[in-house]
Structure 1
Amino acid sequence: MEINTIHNQFYIILGKYIKARINDTDDASDVLQEVFIKINENLGSLTDDSKLKSWIFTITRNSIIDYYRKSSHQKKSELTECMMQKTMQETDFDNSQSLDCCIINFIERLPEEYQGIIMDSEIHGIKQKDLTEKYSLAYPSIRSRVQRGRSKLKEMLLDCCSIELDRRGNVMNVTSKKSCSGGKC
């Protein structure tokens, strides 16, 4: 697989993953850049393409740990034991792979008035306030459409997939229901 394809497929996902663990936006962007450098340098060492996603997230997790180790040495900030344990315990990143691969198909099946807004806010990460200009709607209308769109999307997903969550709401397992019609899970 080529680095451009990997970049296009994982850039947004990795960016959100890193930003959820590193509060400083500039530092998170630096770590994201380092991750893609490491991926590019070591892509030849990956022998099994089916393990690409878990390999990429291992590189990302290790880069986050390295960031906190460097930060603690430079006295920028201290890495709490809780954060280190949380990051090190995250080893299986493919739990929601079944859900990831079909979420866009479900969004495309939403009523037209929700599709673009949900795609922009949830997939592209555009803030709802920024969508007011794009869709020529007031902020409360955008907010309502996002909420209703999320609700409809959740309903569609639960009709088609069995989704197992942990106590914090993280996806642990996704399986397609045999009764699912019209969507691939």
Structure 2
Amino acid sequence: MNDQARSVLTTVLEEGAWSVRQWPGDAAAETVHSALGRVTDLGDRVQGIAYTTSGAMSVHTATPELTTRLDGRDQPIPLDSVYELRLWAVIDEAAEDGLLAHELRWLNGSGTAEIRVGGQELLSANGDAGWQTTRCWTRSNSYLQHGATAPFDVPSKAMTSVEVFTEEPTYGNTVFVDEIMTGRWS
């Protein structure tokens, strides 16, 4: 077993909280435009992925339009082709306030949700402003980005994320429930 595989298997889960808020109202009436109207909640550094009828596209900017990088140039993503959108705050290390991950998700016909992961004291109590908060465990993770070349241990070649686990209520098993990206596209 190599060192990287060993470190993944021995990474300790950290206690935290996983909060989800879905905007009230008619989910089918939510559009990609209304989701983009909420992107300021994520802060200044936003990245993401747009699933479109032309394939998945990395999102490099998200205000007020989506742009991707194709052939070394920023290109607009046609919003009428987007059927699923995931936008996240780029968080290099745990923020001063303990926030580990923050994401906005929109799915055509299902509406918009905002997800945050961090310390239990940081996140809103269950029911505050529509948030549903669950005790969880987290683990940092990373993936090699497409097109990366050796050496592979350069941080800019990896997309970072936070994995979220909760306790299954019937038997007490630890189950994987979510993964929120936190990195920047290279």
TM-score (norm 1): 0.24
Question: Quick check: which has more Rg, 1 or 2?
Answer: 1
- Give 1 or 2: higher helix fraction: 1
TM-score (norm 2): 0.24
Greater RCO, 1 or 2 (C-alpha within 8 Å, sep 6+): 2
- Give 1 or 2: higher strand fraction: 2
